Amino acid sequence: MHDPGQSGSIFNIPPARRRIYAALFVLFSLIGYWIVIWYVTTTDDIATDSTPAILYYTVVGLAIAHGAAFGLALVATEIIGGFMVIGDYLREKLRERYLKREEQARAEANAKWRDWLQRRTTAQQLGQEFSEPPPDGGDSPV
């Protein structure tokens, strides 16, 4: 079934990462454009050429910079997405470990209370005094 949030393009960017992609694309484009303009204006061989040659080098350079920005932003977005997947996996593993430890601690505490209650009940049935403090260290609820 087609997800309306997906474009179906070969360069499909998940909706959650489109803002990251757009920001990276703009950043890489501006860096590329700056490099092209800097190169065209500071290289003596190009600066002494005719105006059509300068325009040619500038337009071709900007097109290459634009394409490179597209690819770099796409790759960087996928790398960030990979880190997000790894982060989600690690977070789930830590959550499972925490829940397991919590369950184990609860089971141990319940076992201590059951043992204590059993000893107290046995002492009461035998008419003996029971002065052992409860497992939590508080006063006896008796």
Model pTM greater than 0.75? no
Q: For residue 40, what pLDDT is reported?
A: 84
Choose among 71, 67, 69, 42: nearest CA to 54.
42
DSSP-derived secondary structure letter, 132: P
Report residue 68: phi and psi, to 5°: -65, -40
Q: What is the pLDDT along the chain (142 residues), one digit of tens a residue?
A: 445 555 556 467 788 888 889 999 999 999 999 999 898 888 877 767 778 888 888 899 999 999 999 999 989 988 988 898 899 999 999 999 999 999 999 999 999 999 999 999 999 999 999 988 998 876 655 4
pLDDT of res. 68 = 93
Q: What is the mean pLDDT of the chain?
A: 85
CA end-to-end span of the chain, whole Å? 64
Q: Are 65 and 32 in contact (CB under 8 A)?
A: yes
Among residues 78, 75, 65, 71, the alpha carbon closest in space to that of 30 is found at 65
Residue 11, pLDDT score: 64
| C-alpha–C-alpha distance, residues 73 and 79, integer Å | 10
* Residue at 111: amino acid letter: A
Burial of 69 (C-beta count, 10 Å sphere; 0-12/13-18/19+) = buried
Closest CA to 61 of 25, 32, 28, 26: 32
- Residues with Cβ < 8 Å from 119, sequence gap 6 or more? 130, 132
